[in-house]
């Protein structure tokens, strides 16, 4: 099927095409295969992929006006192709970033040198709702506060930029693996001939990472994945990962703390747990320390972690480092802690707490994205060009009442990638969420969950806002492949 | 394994077994609608409702009611027992609960078992009684029974036979024993409560057919139906796939495999009760003549077994001392 009518926008980087409409060199192989396939073949492939997701219930839950609803993320069958060199840059940049973020967390929960040295304002850190004074002087194994990070990377004509770091309970990695599985099943010959780097080792890598963080370096630790339960939007992923890493999938009610040690209730009696990969937010994890009304958590869990009897991954309190204001300082953190220049750029960010940034934001709202610092998932934000004057006026009132609660960023021209829409190829905006794992060392699997804004022209890729997904093919390094062959 | 997961697996086994049991009874009803007298059809409905311990909306069917209402009544009752979301015993509710428990334990079951449960649930969700009625109700129940048989086969061939598997099987066997004894008692009670209390051979034949036992019965006893002999076969024949004896023996052997739980006295109580049940059915049944009283006792014991298993393995108090302290 040809690409007739595929509208290229010169302001937008297209993942498959150059501005003159010729396929990019690295994407040519996939391009050639696509134009050889008929529209019927492609539509059949798409249907098959989505049916697999439905029959296996690879789903997430959306909370709306009615009750929670199980939804399938729509999958686009056309892979997004990245070169090994592109990937190397993204991967090095993210590893560097996560190292700096771990140093930052260690610092702000102990001496606070970065604050004393005037790099970042104290009230921005200690006044952040995600800063947990209860975690002061906490020392997680190996200094790893963030064992699992999922950063959102976007590409524009200026290259790759990090849009945000998710350091609390990032999700989406199961879609990386499920999308790969369906890509292999639906385009087997193309996959094989494209020489794509594998992602299926993610489970093993996660297991290694978590095991490296066992208290006191204990070998063969008992690992459990703590989920809020079947009604959580990411429950499918929790189940999937528990299975991949051979961990028990526990809920708060399965755990109990006795004498500072965490146990789970098994059919053979209570069994000690060493490492908890927790997918429950800080607020709910321990009613004795955080929200007392939480039924999802385990009383005494924080105490057990502070005694060093159990490892919580990620550590509580990491949210302070992915706050949307603190985000603006991550490049400074890289310079401050590592003495290096950041490999990956940040998106330009205006902190409305600064009077001049507030003024700029109010004056230019029609061209900016304004976000609440504490929100995620595409909630609580306004996209200037897609809003009405009335909406902007309303939003401005809220913004003026609490400037420190907001940031703004220019509207990014997220790169586009061909998607199969109603039997035709059309460009849709995409982003990239790779997962960075830190145990004794930092590792990253060559792949990502690629989110797609399925509505024409939309730049909102969040699954809860109607986004879809597609597979990301990181190609093997042609030089290395040649060397290996000779 | 985690108690909560063991409990969910146990319930998956129970719900799917329950769905299968109801489906087989409904398949029989849908066959009866073609050529059997109204009395027999209504007897069948009353027997089903008595066995699950509820009443149909509008009360028991009148055995000697009008021919012209028999089909309409049957439609309503079949819908109630098949698709009614509000009826916890309906086939749909059982699938829905079984799948819900499987959602909690997807990492403990094989992808094949999950996909089987999930797709059949999604299929059922799309259907309704009117469409089933228009096409071929018998084929519908047959297909659903097939799915449940496939589910059983998949648990056998694609799951690791660990403790979780044993709890799933235990759920099936306890449910099977309970449903079985419930049906036998309901059959007897429904017959006794009818006005004429006449002996209807066809009712006993249909009972044999629920258990796939008609040919076996004819083979062993010739074609003359003697209620006592039917009961003997359905209760105490260890070779009949769904006899009470076989269900109880299988449950007992799963309990043996699972072994002792964390609270010694609770797991001993479980073992004592399965021992008592299997001794009643295997040893005492042939020599006693108070069979109906025995069945009532067995029914009570099966219910008790469920509670004892729950207390011994799933819901023991967590205030227990941690190991080694």
Which pLDDT score is estimated for B159? Answer: 96
| Residues near B149 by beta carbon (within 8 Å), at least 6 away in sequence | B20
Residues of A within 8 A of B116 (CB-CB) are none
Nearest chain A Cα distance for residue B243, angstroms: 29
Continuous segment of H or E residues that includes residue B25: helix B3-35
Partner B contacted by A264 (CB < 8 A): yes
**Which among B4, B106, B111 has the least Cβ separation from residue A254?**
B4
The shortest C-alpha distance from B242 to chain A (Å) reads 28
Q: Which of B1, B104, B118 is facing A57, going by the closest CB pair?
A: B118
Q: What pLDDT band is residue B180 in, cutting at 50, 70 and 90?
A: very high
Q: Out of A239, A267, A271, whose CB is closest to B106?
A: A239
| Dihedral angle computed from the Cα positions of residues A41, A49, B143 and B97, in that order, rounded to the nearest 10 degrees | -160
* Contact residues, chain B, for A243 at CB < 8 Å: 106-107
Residues of B in contact with A264 (CB under 8 A): 2
Q: Where are the beta strands (DSSP E) in A253-376?
A: 255-258, 261-266, 269-272, 275-278, 311-313, 345-346, 350-351, 368-372
- Grade residue A62 by pLDDT with cuts at 50, 70 and 90: low
The answer to whether the beta carbons of residues A474 and A196 sit under 8 Å apart is yes
> Which of B106, B118, B163 lies at the smallest CB-CB distance from A267?
B163
- CB-CB neighbors (< 8 A) of A56 in chain B: 111, 114-115, 118
The runs of H, that is alpha helices, within A59-187 are 84-108, 113-116, 122-126, 173-186
Q: Do A270 and B104 touch (CB under 8 A)?
A: no
Which of A55, A239, A249 lies at the smallest CB-CB distance from B115? A55
Q: Which percentage of chain A shows pLDDT scores above 90?
A: 77
In terms of CA atoms, which chain A residue is nearest residue B4? A254
Residue keyed to tokens 């930029």: A161
Which alpha helices (H) appear in B91-162, and where do they start and end? Answer: 91-104, 111-126, 129-134, 137-158
Looking at the complex, does the CB of residue A51 fall below 8 Å from at least one CB of chain B?
Answer: no
Task: Identify whether the C-beta of residue A173 lies closer than 8 Å to the C-beta of residue A435.
Answer: yes
CA angle A445, A451, A456 (to 5 degrees): 155
Q: E strand or H helix at A469, and its extent?
A: strand A467-474
DSSP count for chain A of H helices, then E strands: 15, 23
Which pLDDT tens digit goes with each residue over A210-224?
999 999 999 999 999
Site from A57, A258, A267 to mutate, B interface, most B CB atoms within 10 angstroms:
A267
- Under an 8 A CB cutoff, do A271 and B323 touch? yes
Quick one: average pLDDT of A272-278? 97
- The H-or-E segment that residue B33 falls in is helix B3-35
- Name the band, by pLDDT with cuts 50, 70 and 90, for residue A79: very high
Which residues in B lie closer than 8 A to residue A54 (C-beta atoms)?
122
CB-CB under 8 Å, A239 with B322 = no
Q: Do B322 and A258 touch (CB under 8 A)?
A: yes
Q: Dihedral, CA atoms, A182, A183, A184, A190, nearest 10 degrees?
A: 160
What are A187-241's pLDDT values in tens digits?
A: 999 999 999 999 999 999 999 999 999 999 999 999 999 999 988 888 989 999 9
Listed in sequence order, the residues at least 6 apart from B299 whose beta carbon sits closer than 8 Å to its beta carbon are B178, B181, B182, B185
pLDDT recorded at residue A373 = 86
Burial B119-153, CB ≥16 within 10 A → b, else e:
bbbeebeeeebeebbeeebbebbbebbebbeebbe
| Per-residue pLDDT at A274 exceeds 90 | yes
Of the pLDDT bands very low, low, confident and very high (cuts 50, 70, 90), residue A66 is very low
Q: Which of residues 200-259 of A touch B (CB under 8 A)?
A: 230, 235, 239-240, 242-243, 248-251, 253-254, 256, 258-259
Rounded Cα gap, residues A387 and A390, in angstroms: 8
Over residues B94-109, mean pLDDT: 93
Return the pLDDT at A51: 78
Token readout for A87 is 């990937």
Element (H, E) at A161: strand A159-166
Q: Which of A294-303, A440-449, B123-132 has the lowest mean pLDDT?
A: A294-303
Per-residue confidence at A485, pLDDT binned at 50, 70, 90? very low
A93 against B72, higher pLDDT: A93
State how far the Cα of B180 lies from the Cα of B36, in Å rounded to an integer.
24
Question: What span, in angstroms and rounded, lies between the C-alpha atoms of A303 and A288?
Answer: 9
When pLDDT is averaged across residues B59-72 and rounded to a whole number, the result is 75
Q: What is the pLDDT of residue A376?
A: 66
Q: Report how far residue B119's alpha carbon sits from residue B115's, in angstroms, rounded to the nearest whole number.
A: 6
Q: How confident is the model at residue A481 (pLDDT cuts 50, 70, 90)?
A: low
First-to-last C-alpha distance (Å) of chain A: 37
Residue A145 scores a pLDDT above 90: yes
CA distance B54 to B93: 15
Tell me if B321 and A258 make a contact (CB, 8 A cut-off): yes
DSSP symbol at A414: -
The pLDDT of residue A456 is: 84
| Mean pLDDT of the A302-315 span | 97
Tell me: the pLDDT tens digits for A276-298?
999 999 999 999 988 888 878 89
Beta-carbon separation of A248 and B3 below 8 A: no
Cβ of B314 within 8 Å of Cβ of A267? The answer is: yes
Would an 8 Å CB–CB cutoff place A56 in contact with chain B?
yes
Three-state secondary structure call for residue A261: strand
Cis before residue B197, ω within 30 degrees of 0?
no
Assigned token pair, B47: 């027997």
CB B286 within 8 A of CB B236: yes
Instruction: Give the CB-side neighbour count of residue B40, counting CA atoms within 13 A.
Output: 19
Q: Contact at 8 Å (CB) between B186 and B51?
A: yes
Residue B228, strand partner residues? none
Average pLDDT over every residue of A247-260: 94
Quote the minimal CA–CA distance from B29 to chain A in Å. Answer: 31
φ/ψ of A307, rounded to 5, equals -75, -10
Q: What is the predicted pLDDT for the residue at B192?
A: 82
Supply the DSSP symbol for A430. Answer: B
User: Measured between CA atoms, how close is A262 to chain B, in angstroms?
Assistant: 10
What's the mean pLDDT when you consider all of chain A? 91
More confident residue, B166 or B62: B166
> Where residue B168 falls among pLDDT bands split at 50, 70, 90?
very high
For residue A241, the chain B residue with the least C-alpha distance is B107
Residue A286 to residue B324: CA distance in whole angstroms: 25
> How far is residue A273's CA from residue A374's CA, in Å, rounded to a whole number?
32
Residues 6+ apart with CB under 8 A from A416: A9, A12, A13, A14, A15, A427, A428, A429, A430
B106 vs B297: which has the higher pLDDT = B297
- A53 interface with B at CB cutoff 8 Å: no
pLDDT, residue B12, reads 98
> Is ipTM beyond 0.90?
no
Rounded CA Rg of chain B: 20
- B251 CA to chain A: closest CA distance, Å? 17
List residues of chain B with CB under 8 Å from any CB of chain A.
Answer: 1-6, 100, 103-104, 106-107, 111, 114-115, 118-119, 122, 163, 167, 258, 261-262, 313-314, 316, 318, 320-323, 325
Distance from CA of A70 to the nearest CA of B (A): 12
Taking CB atoms and an 8 Å limit, are A254 and B321 in contact across chains?
A: no
pLDDT digits (tens, 9 = 90+) for B212-227: 999 999 999 988 899 9
Partner-chain residue, chosen from A56, A248, A250, that has the shortest CB–CB distance to B115: A56
Check CB contact under 8 Å for A259 and B258. no
Each residue's pLDDT tens digit, B304-313: 999 999 999 9
Q: How many Cβ atoms sit within 10 Å of the Cβ of residue A137?
A: 8
Interatomic CA distance for residues B262 and A269, integer angstroms: 5
Distance in Å, alpha carbon of A240 to nearest chain B alpha carbon? 7
Closest to A60 (Cα-Cα) out of A228, A242, A233: A233
Average pLDDT over residues A334-359: 96
Range B68-95 burial, b when 16+ CB lie within 10 A, else e: eebeebbbbbbbbbbbbeebebbbbbbb
The residue of chain A with its CA nearest to that of B258 is A267
CB contact under 8 A, B2 and A256: no
Whether A363 shows a pLDDT value over 90: the answer reads: yes
HEC sequence for A32-47:
HHHHHCCHHHHHHHHH
pLDDT at A101 over 90: yes
């Amino acid at each position: 099927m040809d690409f007739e009518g595929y509208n290229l926008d010169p302001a937008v980087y297209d993942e498959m095409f150059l501005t003159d409409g010729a396929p990019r060199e690295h994407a040519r192989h996939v391009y050639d295969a696509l134009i050889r396939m008929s529209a019927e073949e492609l539509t059949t492939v798409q249907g098959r992929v989505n049916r697999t997701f439905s029959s296996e219930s690879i789903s997430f839950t959306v909370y709306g006006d009615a009750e929670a609803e199980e939804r399938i993320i729509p999958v686009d069958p056309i892979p997004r192709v990245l070169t090994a060199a592109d990937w190397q840059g993204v991967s090095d940049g993210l590893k560097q970033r996560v190292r700096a973020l771990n140093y930052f967390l260690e610092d702000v929960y102990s001496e606070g040198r970065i604050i004393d040295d005037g790099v970042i304002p104290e009230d921005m850190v200690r006044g952040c709702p995600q800063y947990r004074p209860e975690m002061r002087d906490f020392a997680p194994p190996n200094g790893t506060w963030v064992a699992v990070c999922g950063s959102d990377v976007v590409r524009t004509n200026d290259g790759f930029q990090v849009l945000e770091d998710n350091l609390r309970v990032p999700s989406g990695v199961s879609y990386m693996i499920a999308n790969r599985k369906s890509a292999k099943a639906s385009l087997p010959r193309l996959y094989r001939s494209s020489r794509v780097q594998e992602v299926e080792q993610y489970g093993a890598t996660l297991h290694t990472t978590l095991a490296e963080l066992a208290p006191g370096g204990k070998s063969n630790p008992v690992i459990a994945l703590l989920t809020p339960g079947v009604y959580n939007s990411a429950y499918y992923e929790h189940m999937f990962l528990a299975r991949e890493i051979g961990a028990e999938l526990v809920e708060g009610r399965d755990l109990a703390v006795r004498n500072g040690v965490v146990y789970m209730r098994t059919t053979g009696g209570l069994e000690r747990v060493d490492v908890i990969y927790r997918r429950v937010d800080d607020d709910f994890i321990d009613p004795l320390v955080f929200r007392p009304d939480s039924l999802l958590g385990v009383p005494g869990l924080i105490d057990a972690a502070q005694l060093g009897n159990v490892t919580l991954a990620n550590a509580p309190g990491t949210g302070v480092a992915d706050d949307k204001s603190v985000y603006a300082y991550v490049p400074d953190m890289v310079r401050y802690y590592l003495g290096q220049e950041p490999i990956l750029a940040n998106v330009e960010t205006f902190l409305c707490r600064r009077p001049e940034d507030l003024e700029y934001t109010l004056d230019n709202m029609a061209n900016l994205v304004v976000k609440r610092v504490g929100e995620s998932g595409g909630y609580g934000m306004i996209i200037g060009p897609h809003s009405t004057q009335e909406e902007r006026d309303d939003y401005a009132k809220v913004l003026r009442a609490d400037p420190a609660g907001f940031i703004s960023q220019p509207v990014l021209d997220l790169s586009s990638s061909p998607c199969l829409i109603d039997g035709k190829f059309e460009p849709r905006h995409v982003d990239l969420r790779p997962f960075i794992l830190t145990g004794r060392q930092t590792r990253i699997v060559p792949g990502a969950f690629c989110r797609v804004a399925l509505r024409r022209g939309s730049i909102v890729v969040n699954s809860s806002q109607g986004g879809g997904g597609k597979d990301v093919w990181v190609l093997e390094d042609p030089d290395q492949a040649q060397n290996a062959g000779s | 394994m985690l108690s909560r997961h063991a409990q969910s697996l146990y319930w998956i086994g129970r719900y799917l077994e329950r769905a299968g049991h109801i489906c087989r009874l409904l398949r029989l009803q849908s066959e009866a609608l073609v050529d059997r007298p109204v009395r027999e059809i209504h007897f069948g409905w009353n027997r089903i409702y008595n066995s699950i311990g509820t009443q149909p909306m509008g009360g028991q069917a009148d055995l000697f009611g009008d021919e012209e209402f028999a089909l309409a009544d049957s439609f309503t009752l079949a819908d109630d027992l098949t698709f009614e979301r509000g009826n916890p015993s309906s086939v749909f509710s059982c699938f829905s609960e079984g799948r819900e428990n499987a959602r909690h334990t997807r990492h403990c079951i094989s992808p094949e078992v999950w996909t089987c449960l999930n797709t059949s649930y999604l299929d059922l969700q799309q259907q309704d009684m009117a469409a089933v009625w228009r096409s071929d109700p018998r084929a519908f129940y047959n297909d659903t029974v097939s799915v449940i048989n496939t589910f059983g086969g998949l648990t056998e061939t694609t799951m690791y036979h660990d403790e979780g598997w044993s709890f799933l099987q235990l759920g099936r066997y306890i449910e099977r024993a309970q449903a079985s004894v419930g049906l036998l008692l309901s059959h007897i009670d429904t017959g006794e409560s009818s006005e004429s209390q006449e002996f209807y051979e066809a009712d006993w034949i249909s009972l044999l057919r629920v258990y796939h036992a008609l040919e076996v019965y004819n083979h062993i006893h010739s074609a003359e139906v003697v209620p006592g002999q039917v009961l003997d076969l359905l209760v105490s024949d260890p070779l009949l796939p769904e006899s009470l004896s076989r269900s109880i023996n299988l449950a007992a052997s799963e309990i043996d495999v699972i072994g002792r739980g964390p609270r010694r006295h609770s797991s001993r109580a479980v073992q004592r009760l399965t021992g008592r049940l299997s001794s009643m059915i295997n040893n005492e049944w042939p020599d006693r003549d108070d069979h109906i009283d025995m069945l009532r006792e067995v029914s009570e014991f099966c219910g008790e077994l469920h509670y004892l298993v729950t207390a011994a393995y799933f819901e023991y108090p967590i205030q227990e001392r941690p190991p080694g302290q």
